[in-house]
Amino acid sequence: MNHLDELESQSVYILREAYKHFKELCMLWSIGKDSTVMLWLTRKAFLGHVPFPLVHIDTSYKVPSMIEYRDRLAREWKLKMVVGQNRDALAAGMGPEKGRLTCCSALKTEGLKHTLDGTWPRKEMNREGVYEDVLNGEPFTGVIVGARADEEGSRAKERYFSPRDKNNDWDVSDQPPEMWNQFKTDFAPNTHVRIHPLLDWTETNIWEYIEREQIPIIDLYFDKGSGKRYRSIGCETCTGMIDSKARSPKEIIVELGKTTVPERAGRAQDQEDTYAMEKLRRDGYM
């Protein structure tokens, strides 16, 4: 087994453990490369099937092609798609001009929290591929997230199975031990567990795997002639493109070998203040 095989095997093992232990299980799909790789790994683990719902939090400011891509893949791969949104905040005019962290916190963190706990309506794709509102959904007790340890400081301290208390809080200083692939799969009522199958992957590994497996990743990551591309995708309003002529995973891998610029440099909310990420994260942001 080479290193990519080892990473794939570990992720598949974690996904299968999650599916075994959590009845109310979902996977967060941001449409980005990491969670799309995770979705692909899920199909590997379950022989082509995706046996749990995928949750996407739609801030309404996403690049429009992201939504098209999401729904096309959902229909093609027969995904149980669940979309959440902070409708009240949007109706009241929430947007990045109110302050980036305020906006992230309302549209992502709050939207996510209430979509996961079922207190807000969820849009679910039915068998005909059409979205319908579903009220009073069951709270999810296992949430699969595509965080990688190398992304930024606060993510490096995560476990594969990381408990969150009823306020979504993450107690970094008092985490359960994790060894020999024995994970935290027992949890108290009103708490949930975040599951991180990609913890050991680096940005380069992700692209190497996309290349190897020919995963149909969204094309925003590639230069289409303007000499610019996204390295990290999110809301159109707050995500900048980078100067790059990379048109394929192969070219991106070469480029990554030379860069010293961090992955999330184009994400404006990270630059807002020093502890932005940790703050968002403590509040439940992925």
Partner 1 sequence: MPSDTNTSERQTMNVVIVGHVDHGKSTLVGRLLADTNTLGDGKLEKVQETCRRSGKQFEYAFLLDALEEEQGQGITIDAARVFFRTDLRDYIIIDAPGHIEFLKNMVTGAARAEAAVLLIDAKEGVQENSRRHGYLLSMLGIKQIVVAVNKIDLVDYNEGAFRAITEEYQEFLSGIGVEPLRFIPVSAREGDNIADRGDKLDWYEGPTILEALDGLKKAATNDQLPLRMPVQDIYKFNDVGDDRRIIAGRIESGTLAPGDEVLFLPSGKRSHVASLEVFSAPTLQSVGPGECASITLTEQVFVSRGELLCHPSSKPHVSTRLKVNLFWLGKAPMTPGKRYKLKLATASVEVTIDSIERVLDASELGSSSDKGMVERHDVAELTLRTRKPVAFDVSAELESTGRFVIVDGYDIAGGGIVREALSDNLETRRLERQLRDMEWVRGDVTPAMRAALTGHEAAMIMFSGTSESGKHDVARALEAALVQTGNHAYLLDGKNVVLGIDADIAFDDIDELVRRFGEVANILLDAGLLVISTTNVIGLADHRQIATQIAPAPMFLVHVGSSDDELANHADVCVDAQTPPNDAVAAILATFSESPG
Quote the distance between the C-alpha of residue 181 and its chain's center: 22
Among 178, 190, 227, 228, binds partner 1 (CB under 8 A): 178
Name the maximum alpha-carbon separation found in the chain: 53
Closer residue to partner 1, CB minimum distance, 15 or 66 = 15
Strand 81-84 and strand 54-57: pairing? parallel
Among 2, 128, 225, 243, binds partner 1 (CB under 8 A): 2
Among 253, 268, 280, 286, binds partner 1 (CB under 8 A): 253
Closer residue to partner 1, CB minimum distance, 78 or 224 = 78
Q: How far is the CB of 177 from partner 1 (least distance, A)?
A: 4
Q: How far is the CB of 95 from partner 1 (least distance, A)?
A: 26
Closer residue to partner 1, CB minimum distance, 157 or 228 = 157
Asked whether position 126 contacts partner 1 by CB under 8 A, the answer is no
Asked whether position 67 contacts partner 1 by CB under 8 A, the answer is no
- When computed from its CA atoms, the radius of gyration of the chain, rounded to whole angstroms, is 18
What residues have CB less than 8 Å from 152, skipping those under 6 apart?
A: 262, 264, 270, 277
Q: How far is the CB of 250 from partner 1 (least distance, A)?
A: 10
Provide the terminal-to-terminal Cα distance of the chain, rounded to the nearest Å: 31
Nearest Cα to 49, choosing from 20, 77, 82, 15?
77
Asked whether position 176 contacts partner 1 by CB under 8 A, the answer is yes
Query: Which residue do the tokens 């959440």 mark?
Result: 84
Asked whether position 80 contacts partner 1 by CB under 8 A, the answer is no
> DSSP class of residue 176?
P
Quote the distance between the C-alpha of residue 123 and its chain's center: 18
Q: Is residue 133 classed exposed, middle or buried when 0-12, 13-18 and 19+ CB atoms within 10 A define those classes?
A: exposed
User: Distance between CA 13 and CA 24 in Å, rounded?
Assistant: 18
Question: What binding mask, one character per residue, do residues 194-213 give for partner 1 by CB under 8 A, x or -?
Answer: --------x-xx--x----x
Among 72, 157, 224, 245, binds partner 1 (CB under 8 A): 157
Asked whether position 135 contacts partner 1 by CB under 8 A, the answer is no
What residues have CB less than 8 Å from 16, skipping those under 6 apart?
A: 45
Closer residue to partner 1, CB minimum distance, 46 or 222 = 46
Q: Which residue ranges make up the site for partner 1 (CB under 8 A)?
A: 1-6, 9, 12-13, 16-17, 19-20, 43-49, 51, 78, 149-150, 152-153, 156-157, 159, 175-180, 182, 184, 186-188, 202, 204-205, 208, 213, 253, 256-262, 265, 270
